[in-house]
Chain A
Amino acid sequence: MVITFISIFAIGIVAGVVGAILGLGGGIIIVPALTLGFGMPMRTAVAASTVCIIATSTGAAVAFLRDRLTNTRVAIWLEMGTSLGALTGALAAALVNQRVLFVLFGLLLAYSAYNMFRTRKEHARPEVVPDAISRKLRLGGSYYDKALGRRVEYQVTRTLPGLIIMYFSGAAAGLLGIGAGIFKVPAMDQVMGMPFKASSATSNFMIGVTAASGAVVYFARGDVKPLVAGPVVLGVLLGAILGARLMMRMPAGRIRLFFMPILAYTAIEMIYKGVKWW
């Protein structure tokens, strides 16, 4: 038992570090590790992974908030989209064809992976001009980038398209059980013109809230097994604290480089899932 605890705990640490750096929930590591590595049922793994999303978000957010990497105003604006989307997704889950959605969302991710690859040189970006909502709500921000050794000021644009994408990302999370951060980071980075590190930190901050409403369902159903979730969540918490510190010192370009293959992999996996069932 002790060995199992320690190995689950270690998986948690890895998932926490990766999740905190990339602004994702870490489910991409935890779910396969628990099901394939430990032969646990899918429901147990997904329930544990949902609580882990909260752990990543909470653990990493402390450091990100202190360094102002998290844009709380953008986060709250976009959380309206994710939370309403998640609600719609959960309610509509019985009505829609999941296969079509997997393919659609997979294609969307593939497109954003391509787009991220195309615009991988951060400095080659055009100046971001804030739109009316962004100006009115003062969404622009600044943070001190430890990797660059200087303060980065930025503006936010296309706030409404961003909100709409968040709505669908929330719906995808509710319908397909994926997409904690994988849609949010590209939406802020590619659509709203935010710097990659601010996008990742803000995504990290937001995913905890979306996951909380899902986690309640898993708790109510009794899918959260304390002996599985306990060690992995503890590992994720510590990993996320560590990951947040690492991320603040990493150059944005390198984080992006890590993000792209994961994005591409998830896209392929989703399209495959959708096509396989036909």
Chain B
Amino acid sequence: MVVGIDPEDKAAVHPIELVLARLLRLGSMVAAALLAVGIALMVFGHTGFAPRLITVGLLVLLGTPVMRVVAAAIIFVKERDWHFALFSLVVLCALAVGIYFGKGM
């Protein structure tokens, strides 16, 4: 990792993309594994347990983008990039309110 050059260059090697990529890869791999095992079990006739495993896989996938916004917010706060930390917070608040109202619908 190259650090401490002028701000233009620093933006170019910004590690946030790599951190988020790692997080999203973890989320999608865990979700894919749960889904694959769940579907395989379903095919072999474990009809009670398999749908629940699939649902857990879908929920992991659902949580991944939300975790991505949280991770971005933390990175921006750490880097004292206050504008973008604020933007991430706005997104998180909108998501939280949406989920709160959505559940009641």
State whether B68 touches A137 (Cβ < 8 A): no
Q: Does A114 lie at the interface of the complex (its beta carbon under 8 Å from any beta carbon of B)? A: no
Q: Are B65 and A90 in contact (CB under 8 A)?
A: no
Q: Chain B interface residue count: which class?
A: 35 or more
Residues from chain A with Cβ under 8 Å of B103 in the complex: 216-217, 220
On chain B, the residues within 8 Å of A87 by CB distance are 94, 97-98, 101
Q: Which of B7, B12, B38, B64 contacts A58 (CB 8 A)?
A: B64
Decide: B28 and A59 in contact? CB cutoff 8 A.
yes
Q: Is the CB of A58 within 8 A of B28?
A: yes
Q: Which residue of A lies closest to B94 (CB)?
A: A83
Provide the bound-state CA to CA distance between A1 and B43, in Å. 8
The answer, yes or no, to whether B32 is at the interface (CB within 8 Å) is: yes
Q: Quick check: B65 and A80 within 8 Å, CB to CB?
A: no
| A209 and B91 contact, CB distance less than 8 A | yes
Q: Cβ of B69 < 8 Å from any Cβ of A?
A: yes
Query: In chain A between 192 and 221, which residues have their CB closer than 8 angstroms to a CB of chain B?
Result: 208-209, 211-217, 219-221
A83 with B38, Cβ < 8 A, contacts A51-B62, A57-B65, A76-B84 known: no
Q: Is A86 an interface residue (CB 8 A)?
A: yes
B43 near A66 with CB under 8 A, answer no
B39: interface (CB < 8 Å): yes
Contact status B54-A226, CB under 8 Å = yes
B38 cross-chain contacts in A, Cβ below 8 A: 226, 230
Interface string of B28-60 (1 = CB under 8 A from A): 100110011011001100000001101101110
Bitwise interface map of A from 22 to 62 toward B, beta carbon under 8 Å scored 1, else 0? 00000000000000000000000000000100110111011
Q: Give every chain A residue within 8 A of B57 (Cβ-Cβ).
A: 230, 233
Task: For residue A213, give the distance in angstroms from its CB to the closest CB of chain B.
Answer: 4
- CB distance A209 to B68 under 8 Å? yes
CB distance from B51 to the nearest CB of A (A): 4
Cβ of B18 within 8 Å of any chain A Cβ, yes or no, is yes
Give bound CA distance, A130 to B98, whole Å: 33
B74 beta carbon closer than 8 Å to chain A: no
Distance of A49 from chain B, by nearest CB (Å): 13
Q: How far is the CA of A233 from the CA of B91 in the complex (A)?
A: 25
> A208–B94 contact, CB under 8 A?
no
Q: If A209-B66, A237-B31 touch, does A142 touch B98 (CB 8 Å cutoff)?
A: no
Contacting residues, chain A, for B20 (C-beta < 8 A): 61, 65, 72
Contact across chains for A66 and B87 when beta carbons are under 8 A apart = no
Interface string of A225-242 (1 = CB under 8 A from B): 011011101100110010
**Structural contact, A138 and B11, CB atoms closer than 8 A:** yes
Contact indicator B95/A233 (Cβ below 8 Å): no
- CB pair A226 B55 closer than 8 Å: yes
Give the interface centre of A1, A221, A237 by most chain B CB atoms within 10 Å.
A237
Contact call B17/A234, Cβ cutoff below 8 A: no
Interface of A with B (CB < 8 Å)? 1-2, 5, 51, 54-55, 57-59, 61-62, 65-66, 68, 70, 72-73, 76-77, 79-80, 83-84, 86-87, 90-91, 136-138, 142, 208-209, 211-217, 219-221, 224, 226-227, 229-231, 233-234, 237-238, 241
Sample (5) of A-B pairs whose CB atoms are under 8 Å apart: A51-B58, A66-B21, A209-B69, A212-B66, A231-B35
- Residues of chain B whose beta carbon lies under 8 Å from any beta carbon of chain A: 7, 11-12, 16-18, 20-21, 24-25, 27-28, 31-32, 35-36, 38-39, 42-43, 51-52, 54-55, 57-59, 61-66, 68-69, 72, 83-84, 87-88, 90-91, 94-95, 97-99, 101-103, 105
